[in-house]
């Protein structure tokens, strides 16, 4: 699975958009980008995933660059409850092989 690089921490004002970057310059053609988040003292929660097209769901939007070497998770109107660690993971979908590997992620602090 391709390696990802995320900033260790970010701040965002409440009500503003939070843009969380992820670099995955060694991604291969059949690898998807997955995002999870972990609120303090809870288990991680799946957010969204994508291959090359931009994706949107009720939680967030995922923007993947045309060369697929980086992506951005967007929380359009961040609230205090969005304070969490956000993990970007790249892997082949339904590979049937080893489970997901979670790095250290980005600690997002939403400030009132």
Partner 1 sequence: DGGITQSPKYLFRKEGQNVTLSCEQNLNHDAMYWYRQDPGQGLRLIYYSQIVNDFQKGDIAEGYSVSREKKESFPLTVTSAQKNPTAFYLCASSNRGGNEKLFFGSGTQLSVL
Contact criterion met (CB below 8 Å) for 91 and 34:
yes
Verify binding: residue 50, partner 1, rule CB under 8 A. no
First to last CA, the chain: 37
> Residues 10-49: x/- map of binding to partner 1 (CB under 8 A)?
----------------------x-x-x----xxxxxx--x
Strands of 55-56's sheet in order across: 18-23, 70-75, 61-64, 55-56
Verify binding: residue 7, partner 1, rule CB under 8 A. no
Verify binding: residue 81, partner 1, rule CB under 8 A. no
Choose between 70 and 106: whose C-beta lies nearer to partner 1.
106
φ/ψ (deg, to 5) at 23: -105, 130
Choose between 19 and 107: whose C-beta lies nearer to partner 1.
107
Question: Cα(3)–Cα(67) distance, rounded to whole angstroms?
Answer: 16
Binding site for partner 1 (CB under 8 A): 32, 34, 36, 41-46, 49, 87, 89, 91, 93-105
């Amino acid at each position: 699975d391709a390696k990802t690089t995320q900033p260790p921490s970010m701040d965002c004002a409440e009500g503003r958009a939070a843009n969380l970057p992820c670099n995955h310059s060694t991604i291969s053609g059949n690898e998807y980008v997955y995002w999870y988040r972990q609120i303090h003292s809870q288990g991680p929660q799946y957010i969204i995933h994508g291959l090359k097209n931009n994706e949107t769901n009720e939680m967030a939007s995922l923007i993947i660059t045309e060369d697929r070497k980086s992506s951005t998770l967007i929380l359009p109107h961040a609230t205090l409850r969005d304070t969490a660690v956000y993990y970007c993971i790249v892997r082949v979908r339904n590979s049937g092989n080893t489970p997901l590997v979670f790095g250290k992620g980005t600690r997002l602090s939403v400030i009132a």
